[in-house]
Amino acid sequence: MNSQELEYVRIEVRHALKNLSGGTKGQLEAFSEHPPADKNKHPRRHLHKVVLDGGEGSKPSVVNALTTPVYVLETRSRRRPFPPMHDVEFYYAPWRRAVNALEEHQQAWVRYCYGFDLNFRYQTLMCQYVWDEFQKCLVERKLQSRVVKKLIGLVWLAAQEVAASRNNGTYQEYAGAALARMMSVDRSTWLRVYAPHWAKFKGAFNTLDYAALHNIIRHEQIEGSKVLEM
């Protein structure tokens, strides 16, 4: 896919993963803002005993009431209820199915980067995947423990930077001097030890992004062809 096709998929995925649940109020929120209680039909007096119909013999049945009865109006003001799914949500349903069909680490990246979902599980999955791929390249080279601890923090920072660059065209990447200060190392040490690994981390997330978007558009095209055949 070229850059235009990738950007098209990104735009569609952002719309598909957008949270549209706040369009209407829930029943509890509607009750809290406008309590539709009719106090005239059942005055708020404490009724400790309630007489029930259908008692045996001449003596009616009496029970103790825990609460005072309140007549509540219907919260829905429309004669016909709202549709269970909006037109926009229905239109982007194939895109959501394509996202759900991805592997766990790809789905975690897409939901974090384009769905703005800060679920900790998604962050763990995508960072763990990149770290495992990075370790496969270090079979013949062993790093010091203090370097490994700093590199683990760089994985999450690389994920944030790549995600920010995807959603903000004017985003300025971290400079080497700024990263050296964040890692509490000299700039020369950063360039010699950490900069190559930093580039690998960002490249891994770029590869993950491309693979996830490619699988999404392929799955969405398959779903579209099935609909046309029907």
Domain ranges of the chain: 3-21+85-229, 27-72
Confidence at residue 199, expressed as pLDDT on a 0 to 100 scale: 92
Answer whether 0.75 is exceeded by the pTM: no
110 contacts 159 by C-beta, under 8 angstroms: no
Using alpha carbons, select from 109, 131, 114 the residue that is nearest to residue 200.
131
Contacts of 173 by beta carbon, 8 Å cutoff, 6+ apart: 161, 165
> Can you tell me the mean pLDDT for 201-222?
92
Whether the pLDDT of residue 13 is over 90: the answer is yes
**Which backbone phi and psi does 160 adopt, to 5 degrees?**
-65, -40
Average pLDDT, the chain: 81
Q: What count of residues does the chain have?
A: 230
**Highest averaged pLDDT of the listed ranges 10-24, 40-54, 66-80, 112-126:** 112-126
Cα gap 121→126, rounded to integer Å? 9
How many helices (H) and strands (E) the chain has is answered by 10, 4
> Can you tell me the mean pLDDT for 109-114?
95
Between 50 and 207, the higher pLDDT residue:
207
Between 230 and 14, the higher pLDDT residue:
14
Cα gap 114→28, rounded to integer Å? 31
Confidence at residue 38, expressed as pLDDT on a 0 to 100 scale: 52
pLDDT class of 220 with cuts at 50, 70, 90: confident
154 contacts 194 by C-beta, under 8 angstroms: yes
Whether the pLDDT of residue 42 is over 70: the answer is no
Locate 111 and state its tokens.
Answer: 């939901």
